[in-house]
Each structure stands twice: as structure tokens, then as C-alpha cells.
Amino acid sequence: MRSPDRWTLQIRIMIKSKIKIATTSLAGCFGCHMSLLDMDERLIALLDQVEFNRSPFTDIKHCGQCDIGLIEGGVCNAENVQVLREFRANCTTLVAVGACAINGGVPAMRNYFDLQDCLQEVYVRGSGVTHPQIPNDPELPLLLDKVYPVSEIVSIDYFLPGCPPSADAFLQLLQPLLAGQRPEIASTRLYYD
């Protein structure tokens, strides 16, 4: 596990500049992002300390230099690999958030089947298909042979399990990180769905 650059965080805290956070959903359902928003009014206090960089909350398309990156979802295509590497290159501390990022989760259910069989079943043989054709637009990101946990592509500093992790678990992760400390999340806040 990579140790976070605490000096960067401590310096930001000392000069009271905001901590920069980036978030993304790879092969995920955005449920982890929704759970982050479940902090409700506690988000207001959080926003005094942080500013969001690339994130579905901002619609910024590329990850700039950030203190913390939160990754939701597994890695299912070439674009996911590119985004994940960009986060690793630019975020001091990278966190795998939720079951899909940690072990592939629901999207990884396709790993039990051949990729071509999956495509045939969905786009050609499936019930209700009226125009059978496997999409082949060159703009579509290339699918990987299977869905990978993010830690198989880049190094990850912390793991926050759950499907999704609760808002309280997010707080127990973020509050120490914002103070430049190592998070210790209570076992009662951790779920291995």
C-alpha cells in the first residue's frame, strides 16, 4: 500500500488552502457517488475544506493535480484504464470506493462468460432485440476480456468496501485524510456486500 504524501496535505492545512478531490465512476452505477451525497448537511461543512476537480459533480473532463482521488467501479474497457492511470498520475492519495472498484463487483459477473457470448446474448439473441447487431462504432471504448479490480491496474492507497459504502464510512475516510492523518474506519461502518 502506497503511503500518502502527508506533507502536501499538512502544508495545505497550514495555509488553509482547500484540499482538492477528484472522483470518477468507471464500470459502476454511481451508487457510491449517491452515497457520498447522503452526507446531507454534513456536505456543507465538507465543502468549506475541499474543492472538487474532475468529478460527476463538476463535469470537469480531466483530472488535474489533486490530493485525493475516489474511484468507483471496476475496469471494463480501455477508457477506464486511461482514466484510472490519469487519476493515479495526478492524485496523491487514491482510494478504491465500493465493491466494484475493489473486486469487480456486479459488472464482474460477466467474467464467468466468454465476452463474445455476452455480446451475442445482449445484442443478437436476447429477448426483445429487434435489430440484431453488435455495436462497432470506432468511438466506443474497446471492451477488455474481463472486468478487473482497480488494484490490478494501478496501486491503491486505501480501500473503502461496501455496495455502496455508507455516508458515515465516507466521512470516517475523508475527515482524517483532510487532517493529513491515516484513516481508521470502524469495523461497524464496513460492509462486504
113 burial level (CB within 10 Å; 0-12, 13-18, 19+):
exposed
- Report the C-alpha gap between 9 and 185 in whole angstroms: 19
Q: How far is the CB of 171 from ligand SF4 (least distance, A)?
A: 17
Look at residues 157, 161, 151, 167 and name the one whose alpha carbon lies nearest to residue 190: 161
Which region among 15-23, 27-35, 60-68, 151-159 touches ligand SF4 (by CB under 6 A)?
27-35
Which region among 6-14, 81-89, 99-107, 175-183 touches ligand SF4 (by CB under 6 A)?
99-107
Contacts (CB under 6 A) with ligand SF4, residues 52-81: 72-73
**94 lies in the site for ligand SF4, by CB under 6 A:** no
- Host H or E run for residue 98: helix 98-103
Q: How far is the CB of 170 from ligand SF4 (least distance, A)?
A: 12
Q: Is 142 left (phi over 0), alpha (psi -120 to 50) or beta?
A: beta
How many residues touch ligand SF4 under the rule CB under 6 A: the total is 13
Where on the chain is the footprint of ligand SF4 (CB under 6 A)? 28-29, 31-32, 72-73, 98-100, 105-106, 163-164
